[in-house]
């Protein structure tokens, strides 16, 4: 497996030197106090990511005030208690994207958040307690217990909430392949664990966050 310094140098050459590369990394260096997230914040981000998946993101952004109104500002308790009839009625609401299973996911994910809240006090506290050295385990938790939160949807959700996780974009996967970590898009448990191990090693070598390492990998390719 390649040392992180080799990947960094390749990215720097592609982007015009160390200073230019560091300028591109600056926006991802800020940290988030996950414990300050409200459960409404979390449900809203889950919903946004679910609806953006396979859709034009700017359409969801333009309709977002309608989503906030339809789902009562993402009050978790209210959304968890939505009846089947209310969910069906929302499928006729032109202020949101009328996708039945995605609409139903709001109730399912509200219930998921409530389950986590019962143990941790809030979903943000749960995220804060989960080490980034096991981001693959957290991906699996979202996929298993949430609704439509597998794959890139769950990863984007975590990233937008402020959790320190990579995004397996095409360029990041290409860098993983070039580094000898995997030989294809890591979807199997074996390849995902190899990806986790590689990121853990690179964060130790570089003393950078998972997000920064992920960004350097992407910039080393594209």
CATH topology assigned to domain 34-157: Endonuclease III; domain 1 (1.10.340)
Cβ neighbours of residue 172 under 8 Å, at least 6 residues apart? 166, 214, 217, 218, 221
Q: How high is the pLDDT of residue 17?
A: 97
Residue-wise pLDDT for 144-161, tens only, equals 999 999 999 999 999 999
Residues in Cβ contact with 188 at an 8 Å cutoff, skipping those fewer than 6 apart: none
Within a 10 A sphere around the Cβ of 222, how many other Cβ atoms? 13
Domains of the chain, by residue range, sit at: 4-31+166-219, 34-157
Q: Work out the average pLDDT over 180-200.
A: 97
- The overall average pLDDT reported for the chain is 96
Confidence (pTM):
0.94
The pLDDT tens digits of the residues spanning 173-186 come to 999 999 999 999 99
């Amino acid at each position: 497996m390649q040392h992180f310094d080799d990947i960094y140098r390749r990215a720097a050459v592609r982007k015009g030197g160390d200073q230019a590369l560091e300028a591109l990394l600056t926006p991802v260096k800020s940290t988030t106090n996950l414990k300050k997230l409200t459960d409404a914040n979390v449900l809203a981000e889950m919903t946004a990511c679910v609806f953006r998946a396979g859709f034009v993101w700017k359409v969801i952004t333009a309709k977002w005030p309608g989503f906030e109104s339809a789902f009562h500002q993402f009050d978790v308790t209210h959304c968890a208690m939505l009846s089947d009839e209310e969910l069906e009625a929302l499928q006729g609401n032109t202020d949101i994207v009328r996708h039945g299973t995605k609409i139903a996911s709001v109730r399912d994910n509200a219930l998921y958040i409530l389950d986590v809240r019962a143990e941790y006090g809030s979903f943000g506290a749960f995220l804060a307690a989960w080490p980034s050295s096991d981001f693959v385990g957290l991906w699996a938790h979202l996929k298993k217990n949430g609704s439509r939160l597998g794959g890139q949807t769950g990863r984007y959700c975590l990233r937008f909430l402020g959790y320190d996780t990579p995004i397996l974009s095409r360029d990041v996967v290409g860098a993983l392949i070039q580094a000898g970590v995997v030989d294809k898009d890591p979807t199997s448990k074996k390849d995902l664990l190899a990806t986790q191990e590689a990121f853990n090693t690179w964060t130790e070598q570089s003393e950078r966050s998972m997000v920064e390492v992920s960004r350097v990998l992407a910039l080393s390719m594209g």
